[in-house]
Amino acid sequence: MFDRAGLKGTESLLVHGGASGIGTTAIQLAVARGHKVFATVGSDERVAAVEGLGATGINYRTQQFEDVVKESTDGKGVDVILDMVAGDYINRDIKCLANDGRIVIIALQGGVKAQIDFSQVLTRRLVITGSTLRPRTSEFKSGIAASLQTEVWPLLESGKLKPLIYATFDLEQASDAHVMMDAGEQIGKIILKVTH
């Protein structure tokens, strides 16, 4: 959000998968820095959870997120979208982006392909990018760790950022953790505990 998409100043953010571990962390980080945040989730219980973190929750099963965002921003749209869905969401993302807006794709839960109206990208100066850590160098990852130390750790220490732990499983119960994750009803992280 900050490094890849350059979220800054008074810019606004839309987080897809807002009740996930990544989503709840993204919301808290952006809210702590003073950004207006919207988050898509799949139930009213999750709407309440993300609103408790400071976001405007949007139940994607009962609401069109692009309509909510446009209405809530007086037609401007959001500046940055953190997208874990991709696929057909990309065109919907484009509809709710502000001019000069940026989409960062970090997962492909909705599929790897979409037909895009690139005239919108050109005329509104939009940026669509992606990011994943797995193939990056150790040096790059070290730089992220250093940035986390200076930017995020103080928020953890002050209590402005608190990881939401939904459930903890012993490593031997990893299959049970996967069943819970596949059901997609958790709010926050599912943790595997390794004991020696």
Over residues 85-136, the pLDDT tens digits come to 999 999 999 999 999 999 999 999 888 999 999 999 999 999 999 988 888 8
Residue tagged 């390794």 (tokens)? 194
Please state the pTM of the whole predicted model.
0.89
Q: CATH classification of 12-130 is 3.40.50.720, yes or no? A: yes
Domain ranges of the chain: 12-130, 164-196
Alpha helices in 33-117 (DSSP H): 44-52, 65-72, 89-95
Over residues 47-80, the pLDDT tens digits come to 999 999 999 999 999 999 999 999 999 999 999 9
Here the contacts of 140-146 (C-beta below 8 Å, separation 24 or greater) are: 144/3
